[in-house]
A = this chain, B = another copy of it.
């Protein structure tokens, strides 16, 4: 890396180095020393951007949520509310290498959040953000009159959110079974069942 870089850019590069170490060696190896080596920086230079390991890891975790949010914001409206809802949800599951990396890092930090209050707080923020996106997708369908009138949107957001995070875990741990095509089919089927029976609802 060149010596003169934008500090924000450098921080993002360091967070990416954290991700690389986590995905290759596990979160327990993501020390300041190992991340500095991965990024080709001295530990002193790294500490110019992140004073502590905790600060570095929190920034790296926050990046998972930031990247998902940026993708959702960049989405173009699709041809129908159903297509928009489906594409929104697809942005949040590991359908390509970029989203697979996010899911792996998210999963590593999820486990750490069990015993680390700082990580837990960031994790909960990302949890709430993802849950909000699920509620948005369901509201899109409901507002278009595509769901039964008595649909419990809050319960459905909880259910859909659990489905997406479960798919993310399974795609990471059982990639040969839970493939991108399979994930896409499960999401489509789930939306189909939400839309089922608007006349009888």
Contacts and interface: CB of A to CB of B under 8 A. Distances in A.
A111 B107 contact: yes
A178 B190 contact: no
Nearest to A176: B124
A177 B123 CA distance: 14
Contact of A111 (B108, B123, B165, B185): B108
A173 interface: yes
Given A27-B111, A111-B110, A193-B196, A162 B170 contact: yes
Nearest to A182: B158
Interface residues of A, number: 49
Interface in A105-161: 107-108, 110-116, 120, 123-124, 127, 152, 155-156, 158-159, 161
A23 interface: yes
Given A120-B173, A161-B170, A165-B170, A155 B27 contact: no
Given A158-B178, A190-B159, A196-B197, A173 B113 contact: yes
A72 interface: no
A44 interface: no
A121 to B, nearest CB: 11
A115 B186 contact: no
Nearest to A107: B111
A123 B156 CA distance: 29
Nearest to A126: B173
A196 B23 CA distance: 42
Nearest to A148: B196
A154 to B, nearest CB: 10
Contacts of A169: 110, 162, 165-166, 169
Given A120-B173, A158-B182, A162-B169, 15 more contacts: A26-B111, A26-B114, A28-B28, A111-B111, A124-B174, A155-B186, A155-B189, A156-B189, A158-B178, A159-B163, A159-B186, A161-B170, A162-B186, A165-B165, A169-B169
